[in-house]
Each structure stands twice: as structure tokens, then as C-alpha cells.
């Protein structure tokens, strides 16, 4: 998933620190990247990892928060984590992946995120169906703090391309908007 994609995209001078709390998954990730000195896999809670590894010595980079959303209150936890990451690493880009849930949950998430005081948050969402079907989410989103210049236009183009390819029966939507401007 995310660690493999990130590994394929890094440059020779870049590095990755991946935090995984599940021992089995951590061992698998560690084995997968065992020969790559640029990738370190840590058995630890990703939320604690933000405090332990930010800011990076390079003073630039991307923080990707890809939570499992398998616990109650996860939207508040990831909002707070994103705010913590941005405070500790104000010059970095922080991205937070999330599933699209019911409208009440999503509105609460957005309100909580806005209340953190973090500025310059771009919201990108892609829904492939109009409603959530039991056992399936209807789509996903990503909040990006401090996106590179022009990223909003690129993201809108990518989502407009993906929506007809992935949507069921022409349902769903794509959206790119500034949740919180600069």
C-alpha cells in the first residue's frame, strides 16, 4: 500500500520512516524494505512517531498520515495528529488520507479540522458511489497542508479523470477545495 507507493516515488537522496503498530504488519514491512537503507520501519504508534521524528533533519519533506479508521473517535485523533505534525514541521507538507463516511461524521471532521487553527488546508475527495454500502466506503479523501503551488489544479485534473473510470453507474463526485485558506 502506501509505503510501497512512497518508496517508488522517492529520489535517491530521500528517506522514509514508516511507523506501524501491528507487529505482524511491521515485520512484513521490515522484511520488504530490509535491503533499502533509505527506509526505516518502526514498531510504534504513528501518532507517537510524529512527535519522535518531527521535524526531520532535512527541514523539508512530506508527512503522510494513513490511519486505519478502525476505532471510534478516529477523525478527531487524525485531526489532532495533523495539527501536531504541522506545528512541529510548519515548513513541511502534511497529507492525511481518510474514508468518506456518513454526512454527520464528515461535517464533524471538517469542523474539528478547522478548529485546530491549521491554515492552508486543501481538501481533495473522490466518491465512487452516492451512498455507503454495508462493508464498503463510498470513496476517500485527502487533506493536504501546505501543498505545492498549483497542486490544487493538478489534483482537480486527476480526480476528474479518475471519477468516470472508478465510479459505479456514474454515481459519486470529485471535489477539490480549500477547506481552510492561507
66 given a catalytic annotation? yes
Q: Cell digits for 113? A: 479540522
CB 65 within 8 A of CB 82: yes
Q: Cell digits for 64? A: 503522510
Catalytic residue among 14, 36, 45, 66: 66
Question: Minimal CA–CA distance to 182: which of 142, 141, 143, 145?
Answer: 145
Question: Cβ of 51: how many Cβ atoms within 10 Å?
Answer: 12
Which active-site residues does the annotation give? 66
Amino acid at each position: 500500500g502506501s509505503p510501497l507507493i512512497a518508496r517508488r516515488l522517492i529520489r535517491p537522496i530521500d528517506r522514509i520512516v514508516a511507523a506501524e503498530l501491528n507487529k505482524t504488519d511491521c515485520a512484513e514491512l521490515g522484511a520488504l524494505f530490509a535491503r533499502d537503507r533509505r527506509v526505516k520501519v518502526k514498531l510504534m504508534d504513528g501518532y507517537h512517531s510524529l512527535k519522535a521524528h518531527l521535524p526531520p533533519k532535512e527541514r523539508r519533506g512530506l508527512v503522510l498520515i494513513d490511519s486505519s479508521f478502525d476505532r471510534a473517535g478516529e477523525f478527531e485523533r487524525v485531526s489532532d495528529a495533523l495539527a501536531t505534525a504541522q506545528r512541529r514541521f510548519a515548513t513541511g507538507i502534511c497529507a492525511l488520507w481518510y474514508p468518506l463516511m456518513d454526512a454527520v461524521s464528515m461535517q464533524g471532521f471538517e469542523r474539528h479540522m478547522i478548529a485546530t487553527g491549521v491554515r492552508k488546508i486543501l481538501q481533495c475527495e473522490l466518491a465512487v458511489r452516492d451512498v455507503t454500502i454495508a462493508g464498503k466506503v463510498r470513496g476517500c479523501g485527502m487533506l493536504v497542508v501546505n501543498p505545492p503551488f498549483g497542486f490544487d489544479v493538478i489534483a482537480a485534473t486527476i480526480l476528474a479523470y479518475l471519477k468516470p473510470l472508478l465510479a459505479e453507474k456514474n454515481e459519486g463526485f470529485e471535489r477539490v477545495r480549500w477547506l481552510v485558506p492561507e
